[in-house]
Structure 1
Amino acid sequence: MLTKIDNTIKYGKQHGGFGIQILYPGLVRPEKQDTGLYTIGRIDHARITPGTLIPMHPHRNDEIITYLRTGNVKHLDATNKTDIISNQRLMVMNAGGSFFHEERVLAEGGVLEGLQIFIRPDTADLPPQVQFFQLTEIYSTNLWRKIAGKGDGFPLQLRSHTWVMDLRLEKGEVILLPDAPSENCAFLFYVFVGKITVNDAMPLASGESVLMENEEPKFRADETSDIVLFMTQPNSEHFDKGMYSGNLHL
């Protein structure tokens, strides 16, 4: 089954220089009464002006991926760990029972555009930790690249049956899904920016996505496009009451 998720399903928030479009992917399956899609709780597509400070705040029971395409961010957390996040340096906060952090968008790097992705952990109240990873290249052109997930080969580890990959698909190129990292996976193909046609029939624009279960579609780039791919195991055990990844019962 192929299910298109267009931009009308998103919730928009704007406060000063901080703007996000929030995707609750489970809303495409209202009969399940869950704002998340299996282990994928929420995806925020953010656009934030330089100088914006997101002050120290908590997270609980979320696995949080910060994936930037533009902008530089200075990270500081309650353990006094600090680092710079960019389009080549990604971060995962495994919040566990409690994790506090703040983020400041730096002047160098310009306007931030990226995703903050809230994944549901296998179980509640795990030990908190933070991870960083330096990409060798900003983009992976026409090849799927592993970003975050459970198990070997994924540079940023998630305590969840969830896996994230990305690529830049050049105009006119066609690609298939990568091999699933586990049995019985569902796939969510998210167009960060660009235009994609699925199976020569379904157009996807920037910010839109398609949910795939038991399908092997082909994707053609109508213009050079940046893609983020989410894979989740529908039958895996997971905690669905996280601070942001949890079910909101909208």
Structure 2
Amino acid sequence: MITLRRSSERGHAKHGWLESRHSFSFADYYDPGFMGYSDLRVINDDWVAGGAGFGAHPHKDMEIITYVLEGSIAHEDTMNNASELKAGEVQVMSAGTGVFHSEFNASDSQKLNFLQIWILPNQKDVAPRYAQKDFSGTKGITLVVSPDGQDGSIPIHQDARLYQIKLDTEACIFSAAEAKVYYIHVAVGGLVLNGISLQAGDGAYIADEAMLRIEAQKNVEALLFELRGH
């Protein structure tokens, strides 16, 4: 079963320097029908003006994944990390017992577009940790986040996996695991999922589908979440 979540249905916030689309309830956008899916709690599609960003703010007991689509992020945190995160890179911050961090557009003139993703952890009060990795050179379906760092992915504290999908015009097959549910978010371009068309910003809940056929309509970049079944 595939249930669509169209881009136009998402929550929308505009604050001058920031424009954001929320796949699930977040901040001032609240819809009890869209509070997340399994352990996936947040997908925010953020556009940040040049030189602007999020000042130092706290997080606790959350797995925070940042996926940069355009531009670059200047990141600092209380774990003494100071780094620049560019398009194609993935950052994972396990907030654990608590961490402060800031994220600013590293450019004064170019816009920044990134996805911020929150996944609920399966352990609380763990020591905070940080990692980032460049996946910009990969094609096809690539595992980028997992519970155990499988195949060079970044580990998180949850039985969840995140796959990056990058296709030009080809098609690929993904075999779904038993007792798992899936969520797909199309970031760039368009694709056809088991005969259903999705465009940039669209998402879909996926359950009880043994096989996913993903066909690129045009150059596509998407994220596929593998989550614990209900």
When normalised by structure 1's length, the TM-score is 0.82
Structure 1 distance, partners of 2:155, 2:53, is 27
Q: CA deviation at 1:226?
A: 0.8
Aligned structure 1 segments of 4 or more residues deviating by more than 4 angstroms: none
The answer for the alignment partner of 2:198 in structure 1 is: 204
1:125-144 correspondence runs (5 A): 125-135=125-135, 138-141=136-139, 143-144=140-141
1:96-245 correspondence runs (5 A): 96-107=96-107, 110-135=110-135, 138-141=136-139, 143-151=140-148, 152-171=150-169, 173-178=170-175, 180=177, 183-200=178-195, 202-215=196-209, 216-235=211-230
Distance 1:70 1:5, change over 3 A: same
Structure 2 unaligned segments of length 5 or more: list them: 26-31
Structure 2 distance, partners of 1:34, 1:16, is 25
Structure 1 unaligned segments of length 5 or more: list them: 236-250
**Cα pair 2:23 2:34 within 8 Å, conserved:** no
Distance 1:109 1:192, change over 3 A: farther
1:87-102 correspondence runs (5 A): 87-102=87-102
Distance 1:47 1:116, change over 3 A: same
Bigger relative CO (Cα 8 Å, ≥ 6 apart): 1
Q: CA RMSD in A?
A: 2.1
Q: CA deviation at 1:34?
A: 6.8
Identical amino acids, percent of aligned pairs:
22
Structure 1 distance, partners of 2:46, 2:34, is 23
Larger strand proportion, structure 1 or 2?
2
Structure 1 distance, partners of 2:38, 2:143, is 20
The answer for the alignment partner of 1:39 in structure 2 is: 39
**Cα pair 1:72 1:110 within 8 Å, conserved:** no
Structure 2 distance, partners of 1:9, 1:57, is 28
Structure 2 distance, partners of 1:86, 1:166, is 16
The answer for the alignment partner of 2:82 in structure 1 is: 82
Alignment coverage as a number of residue pairs: 223
Structure 2 distance, partners of 1:34, 1:87, is 28
